[in-house]
Structure formats: structure tokens, C-alpha cells
Amino acid sequence: MKIGWIGTGIMGASMCSHLIDAGHELTVYNRSVEKTSALTAKGAALAENPAQTARGMDVVFSIVGYPSDVEEVYFGDDGILSAADPGSIVVDMTTSSPDLAIRISRAAEEHRLSALDAPVSGGDVGAREARLAIMAGGDAKAFEKVKPLFEVMGKTIALMGPAGSGQHTKMANQIAITGTMIGMVEALLYTRRAGLDLDALIDVIGSGAAGSWSLNNLGRRIAAGNFEPGFMIMHFMKDMGIALDEAKRMNLGLPGLALVESFYRAAMGRGMERKGTQALFEVLDNLNALR
């Protein structure tokens, strides 16, 4: 298939690379051109803007940073909707607002396009190893056409409902992760204070009821003192903000999410916005050092 790909960051570059390896014809775009070099070296064509990325393609994927970036990529003067061919499918894999996903879907219909919102979970490791969970919202026929491409990038793939449903599913995913993260970090802080080996602890409890993706993957990074991003704090802050806004709209209180958001806000205040989400460990460790 002829595929346009917008966004070649920590996760997008790996996801796009798998599609090239699968034999598809890729055209890529990223605001920071240097982040496309590995993909163009593998044969991808380089576009100058989102419109050029979308023109003449069967499917156009986007995975960018923030809802404002999604807005620009789709609705800007050189955006996807200005150039995508009628009958093509646009797929936003950014974690973004459900309302924006619905707006894109409606605008796509006006341009005789199909749209899916399909955020992912699995972090940099899941992207590199093509083991992502992909949660989609939108038209069932479009989903079936794109599913073989999703299967190149992920292992767990589901259509959750109409437009916006993929984003709502990702919000539920992020809400669950926030609670898991604070529990995991507190457990490892306790472990270190008790004089135990972090890796040995993860070996034991990671295979039992306390086991989780966060513990078995990000916990290992904490044990190694590695706080480089598989997923940046500033992007997780964005996700938590969307989830809290959606919860407020539903008149739903989520005190656990609000608590974790406050700790990550403290991390942002310490200039840690580009560190990995596992750096919550450092935030709580520093707070305890003041006790």
C-alpha cells in the first residue's frame, strides 16, 4: 500500500519502520527533519508538509505530540484534509482528545474520507518490538482495511466503537497506569530503604499478583538508574490532563489520578519534563529526603 506517515519520534519512527520492512511504500514527514533520516535511508520518501504526505496515499497515519499538533496536522493550510484523496483513510494514533477525534471524523466524511482514532499503549519497547496494543474508534469497514497494517505494528488490536472510542479507551489505560506507577515507585522506594536489591525484588514480585508492565519494564530502568524516556513526563502530563478534563465533563471524581498528576507537575517544575515517566521515583525519593 502507499502510506503517508506523520510523526517520527520515539514511537513513530519504529512503527513506521515496521511498515517499510513489510514492503509498503512510505512517505514520511516530521517537523524535525533529522528524525526521518533512518527511515529515508530505508527507502521512505520525504515530504515537506502534511499535505504532501497525504496526497495520493491509500492510508495516512499521524502520531504527534499534543492535540494542538493534531489540529494543525489535519486542519492547517497544508494539512491532511486539504490534500488526502477521496476514498483514502486517515488514522490518528496520537493520544489526544475524544472530541477532536470526533471532529476529525466528521470533517473526513465531508471530504469523502474515512477516519480512525487509534492511540497505542506499550511505550518505546512495544513500538520497537511491534507488540503495541492498538485501540481504535471509527468506521468498521475502514478498520478492517487498516487492520493488516495495525498487525504489523502491534499484537493486541481492537475496534472499541465509533469515533472517539479509541481515545476514551486510551484514557482508561492511562488512568490505570497512573495508579500502577505510584504503587510501583513506592514499592521500590520501600525496597531500597529496607536494604534489598531492586532487581531481585522485581524478579520475585514481578511474577506474582503485584506484577505489571510498569514494574517489569520501567522498574528495571529505575533499578539501573535509567530515567531516559520511553515515554516523556510532559506527554504523560498531557494525557492526564485530557483524562481529568473528560472526567470533569462526566461529573466523575478521580482522586488517584489527581494525586499522581500533582507529583508529575512537581517533576515538570524541576525541569524533568523530558525524562521518562519512571522519573516519578526521583520525585518521591527527593520528597522523602526532606523528611
Catalytic residues: 170
Task: Give the C-alpha separation, 53 to 42, whole Å.
Answer: 17
117 pairs with which residues across the strands? 92, 137
Q: How far is CA 278 from the centre of its chain?
A: 16
Q: Which residue carries 499503549 as its cell? A: 121
- Helix or strand (DSSP H, E) at 117: strand 114-117
End-to-end distance of the chain based on CA atoms, in angstroms?
59
> Cα(260)–Cα(265) distance, rounded to whole angstroms?
9
Q: How far is CA 247 from CA 8, 151, 260, 272, in A?
A: 31, 31, 15, 26
CA distance 284 to 280: 6
